[in-house]
Structure 1
């Protein structure tokens, strides 16, 4: 079979290891969305969309229109980039997602007197590398943040007290992987991921991850969860096709998923409403 990788970084550890598992029996081709202008000739049997740029999404839509399975679909990937859409979809599905308010450009909102109870979390509405995610404890901190990010469209959330650790849960199909990472809202900022404690992932959280994937029509995805007290999960972010670095078994799971989707001849998941 032919497996296409839509990515500017085919050497990414997860993709490279997956390609190595597939290569003995299958042809793996990388498409750089920065330079690819469609695909001449028949499309591959399946494509793995490991990029979220507008060019990558356009290329994925083009391939889907030609009948090629894409994991994840362009539509599902887009839903994870808009935090307003993300929150609305999650809450509509009954998932324990942090209540989220969309307030528009940060400086204009602050100038208009907008300020929910402190502490709060301010995030870029549109998720991307290097976006804004910050805890704000008082009005002075909010004004300082607005001065640095004046025109940034943002969403705000009440800060939920927690242990300071994010549970990073990743799924490839039905298989769930886990790690802990210091929250980027903690004083020292995020640190390297480490395996969860000996007790492992709290009971029911893996099923919550799978329910999130079903709600967002995702096949390869990450769900960031914090313990909001007493083991109560609170979802704070959903990512399409994250890196899933250093997780034993992840490349094999991705290779198997790619072959299943290629064999089925369909993108698999039904698009979320």
Structure 2
């Protein structure tokens, strides 16, 4: 009987321990579930916070981009148009989403370093460093700020720090190509002459791959769809369209300035220029 009693007592003791262990396990599981719930809640909060910071940064980028363009006496939408073209080049070259987004931001802010007034010729060469000084103040752009130091680097290594080829970040190579094309397209050059200038720059100041992408985009003639700008053949001009680039004579004299509103008389003038004083393949307009 004593052995039986002892066995029963031991069983009761083990059962008691099992119950206590079960309670502890339930308690631990409850704590784990609470931690998981808290983690999900925290992750959701962090995600929303990051989204808010990104929105604030992008809003600041847009504002600074507009101010830079205006103060440097360019059209207020200049940087956003260069950014739009940079995105198109990045997509044509199959860049990943991060690089394309970075190219967009760099393009919007690439004039920022010129906001410092009263540059003498030597100081002007250091505008990329000034851009870094401003851009690194944005909490979400600190990692991108140093890339602005490469704004003056050329593909052939002739830039200030002799960076060459792929040593220059892909984003900068794209932005340089976009800005170069935008400048050419707003000086009244025909597509044929733009291609000549791109050929000269290819392998020197510009990445040949970027130039190839520009050729493809030039054929599509849809660079500035988002901004309402389109490239049209001279025969497709219509009244109420507005010139987005000037029209120049073969000797470089301005025949019609950017901003000219077209009517039948002006369109007839342009067609007359095309036969005589000017070489016009297609024209940038808004309708």
TM-score over 0.5 (shorter chain): no
**Short-chain TM bin:** under 0.3
Structure (1 or 2) with the greater strand fraction: 1
- Please, what TM-score do these two structures have when normalized by structure 2? 0.26
The structure in which a higher percent of residues are helix is 2
Which protein, 1 or 2, shows the higher relative CO under an 8 Å CA cutoff with sep ≥ 6? 1
